Structure 1
Amino acid sequence: MGLNQGGDGGFRKVACSFWRGRHHSKNLQMRKPLLAFLSGTTIWQLTLFLASVVVAAGQVAPSFTTQPISQTGAVGGSVTFTVAATGTAPLVYQWFKDGIAVAGSTGSSLTISGVKLSDEGSYQAAVRNVTTGISAVSSGGDHTMYVKTGGTLWAMGYNLFGQLGDGTTTHRSSAVQVATSVASVAAGRLHTMYVETDGTLWATGYKVNGQLGDGKDANLEFRSTPVQVATGVASVAAGADHTMYVKTDGTLWATGSNAQGQLGNGGNSTSTTPVQVATSVASVAAGRVHTMYVKTDGTLWAMGDNRYGQLGDGTTTNRSSAVRVATGVASLAAGGDHTMYVKTDGTMWAMGYNLFGQLGDGTTTNRSSAVRVATGVASLAAGDDHTMYVKTDGTLWAMGYNLFGRLGDGTITNRSTAVNIYKGLLSNAATLAFVPAITTQLSSSTVISGGAASFSVVATGTSPLAYQWKKDGSSISGATSSTYTIASTKTADAGSYTVVVTNSAGSVTSNSTVLKIIAPRLYSLAVRTALEANQILIVGFTMSGGAKNVLLRAAGPALGAFGVPQTMVDPKLELYSGSTLITSNDNWGGSPSLAATFQSAGAFPYASATSLDAASVASIDGGRTAHVYGPAAGAVLVESYDVGSGDAQRFTSLSARSRVGTGANILIAGFSLSGEGKRNLLIRAVGPTLGVFGVPGVLSDPKLEIYQGSTKIGENDNWSATLSTTFSSVGAFGLTQGSKDAAITVSLPAGSYTVQVSGADGGGGEALVEVYELP
């Protein structure tokens, strides 16, 4: 058992004290242990103190002369962090990323090739001496023993029972040398055992319970001068009042108190001389009143006190004979009432008393069966109620009882999960950061005035990333996220947009994108008229810029819900390209998809799924006409709506041809402009010129009036020849010079309008109403 300590980092042998606990009798509650010379410091701090003794003798602790420099990385590239340190050689390095050891990075430089974004973070190097001149340390109840690399044994602390072995009972606040040629040492509550390099085992201190193994002597309570008690010894462990040692032939021997069966000899009687209790043993650890040992085949055996499950056999039954509890074990440590062991795969396991979290399993629940609590463990030590271990990367971890700060984490808070308390001498932190890179650039956008426009980028780089959107080079207030949205565009929003992405490593500007704002556009046309049986109402429209879905409706029965009298009972809708029939619909059939389209377009719903109204959605590209008629006379409303997606495609003209009557039977065409702002339109009511195209019975003197709601906003009776050029600009056919056709240009804001066509002379006839977008 043990932790390995090197100068400012590498840990060697350390045995924790577990004798000042909840089970001590009052007459054995001694004064503060020598650990108090560091005012309640931890075992690792004690070891650092001992290392300082060695430094004074010529060892030089590591010191950084070159610190790592922060780097700015590029994905796929390479970066290198470098440190330099001085100190007693050899020096061992370990690099850390965000506090986690980087596997295999144990040199003075760390190179990352094929850099990935996940490599960003904070990098530090730890450096430590391989040796410190201290080969072993053991802390007893109130005394401490350590062995220097030259084999000298040194002692300090409480000495009332001669446990320091210096031939006196004088307490020592400074270490005194008490032996030479020592290989290892174990400190019990009030006694000390050590093995010399020749394999002899020596004992000193309190002996009433037979823990020294030198036989019973009613007249001798303790020894202050070490006495040899065995030969051929490989290692030794000291419990509170018992001693266990392994001989070079693999036999395990026990002596001392046996009230809980901790000697493992099948009984509970104290033994004042060593008794053999096992063979083929590789190592042994002694808890307060329990014993654990590992055999050469890697099996773990346990005996003694088990009230907290520290034996790990799944029970809380004391065992006076050893029971096998695990396999594949490499090393172990026994605390006051808990046991820790490391398997050959580096996993660490724990069982026993856990009130203070000393098992490190994240709870304070006692465990009678071992639980795995760590991986990559190289060595470990167990105190009365705390545990410390060193990982293969050289880091020191601690958990459990933290009174007086014994865990060394800067607090006095108990820890049920291990905390990393030592890495070695750490360099300054250097960061690997990435300048922002935009992986998804902006794309240009064209929207109708009043519509929404949204721009976004996707950027990578070291967090946090800050965004600032700009229009025509000027920052946009409040536009500081990866997406910039204009909920309702205006003409003034047109321009060039970019975004600057910034972080601690630098900044990058996106490609520019152009936002074009289109003036309000024609969105829908609605024509209501009264038809005779089989009389045809013709509605025309032109879709420019490509194909787009258009909703077409012919409502007859549905108009009754609005109080319209004498509606057409069964209108039929046909769509033509020139003279070719493209599609037709007689009854809409209650289609759910059509009903949803009605709602999204803002059209009123049909009252019944079984009504004989007609509706259809068709893809329109270029000029088309819709014919509507019915087998019986009646009022009908024909509608067309732009229901497609995209801004490039749009209605550029809408028209309707029907017979114009008088009174309530005039031709009324409604249209709407979507967006925001104004649009210039050409509106015509053609009667006489239709005769040129062979249309019979034309309206001889059409008059058009434009209304927004009930307000007339424009009218014309006879057109002006000055509009001829305008007709040509939109592809409208020319009107006969001097005819009484009507035409007018208007600039209208987005909204809904109606055009009423009637006979200026009170007459009736066939007429065509047209609405064109002007450039």
Structure 2
Amino acid sequence: MKMLNTTTTRKTKKRGKAWRSLLALTLLLAIAWTGGPHSTVAANGKLVPTLAQEKEQEQAVEAVAKGFTQIEAAHNYTIALRSDGTVWAWGRNLLGELGLEGNTGFRNTVAPVRYAGLSDIVYIHINKSDQNYLAVKADGSVWIWGLNDSSGTNTNGLRQVAGAAGVAKVAGGYGYDIALLKNGTVATWTKQQDDTGKLSFGKPAAVKGLNQVVQVAYGYPKAYAVKKDGTVWSWQPVAAPRDGAETIKPTAPAKISSLSGITSIVAYSGGVMALDTKGKAWSIAENGKKQALYPILTLKEISGSAGSLLLLTTDGEVFAYGYTATGKQGKVRGLTRIKHIAAGEEHGVAIDEDGKAWGWGHNKFYEAGGPSVRSDGMVYTPMLARPAVDTFINGQWLSSIYPTLPQGETVYVPIKDAAKVLGMTMNAVLNNEGFRIYTLKYKERSVAFRVGDKQAKSGNTTFELPEPPIVYTGATAVPYQLLEQGLGLSVQWNEKLSQLTISDQSNE
């Protein structure tokens, strides 16, 4: 197996925000070239990077470019948008709440799983009221998927919201969605479910009187819009969303006179919060009166959910108040250089300046991003989420509801889905001792293995794997070495890019 840039890295202390940018990373690598032991010297006496060094720089830049840019959290699950326009999910799926393809009522994922069919996404949103998801594509179209009802017997697959166009951002409420259009206006539409749980949408309707809007938020029963001039407006959708209404007729927006100089607003079950241009947060009462919220902090983002409140300071630190994920009030220890936050009902998540995801709080369903080390399923010190791994087989991206998982001395592959793409057969029989023996057949070769056993057999040859095959969330997963040694496939694991490539050498 070819291992690309997985063991040797150079750790450099970075000072100042400029050093944290992608440009700074490129410059640092360029500087590293000039002192590198493998540089070549051109005729003019200047050091020239080798092809290997150029490849290393390209991979480093691409790795940074594949970081997460937005993250959302709800009741024991998380979704995140990566800078390449793909969307990933992890956490609980007992009722199909992750909205993966088909009837997928397994307990939870163990690592991020990529949604099939979503590409070129620029914005994501969890509608916590209706338990489904919204995504905006670069072309301005809106897409929806997720849980259809509380029974969990099925999920609504990915579909486009008809009539929604030119959209920049979205928000959702109980039975309705809100769209901020690229031209600064706002539209809304209803959602209905029939007896089978199938979704249908009302015709998008403009919210008259709103223009130059920069942000929208939902609350029950009101929706909110922040204008470019810093004013905040509220209105109420009045069509009953579940009685077959085809259109939504919003009330006229009303200005909240107590608010000015506002940059963003958060509406959730714990209340309505606003953030102003000076980085100060305000709590908004039902009558519109405001009250300073933790004025000692200078903030750049607020996130709330079910009485839990997260605050992100301009210094990149995170503070938690209310019903917190760990029961503690104040600064969340272990988080620095954070650029985005999201509060779930029982857990919190964040993205740092390198695009890495962090999680803490309730984690019995891996909603924080990885396995818990405590028996109570809690994560009190934020943990780095497991990597979001893309797998390619003979050049084709592997679409699977089960993740490819780096763990221990290997990378695990969900073998049933991989076998389908490769065109191999997979059978299982019980041996005399009652163990299930799996056999993979590919072209002229075959390999037999057992879950939990490091030894595998190819033909008459027995070989040992670095890690045993395992089962997670209903999927049988094998170490990549089984495919290499047992079936002669070529495998490359690029840790920097979180990318596993499997190919048939005879096709290369």
Using the size of structure 2 for normalisation, the TM-score is 0.47
* Structure with the larger strand share: 1
Larger Rg: 1
Using the size of structure 1 for normalisation, the TM-score is 0.32
Q: Which has the higher contact order (CA 8 A, sep 6+)?
A: 2
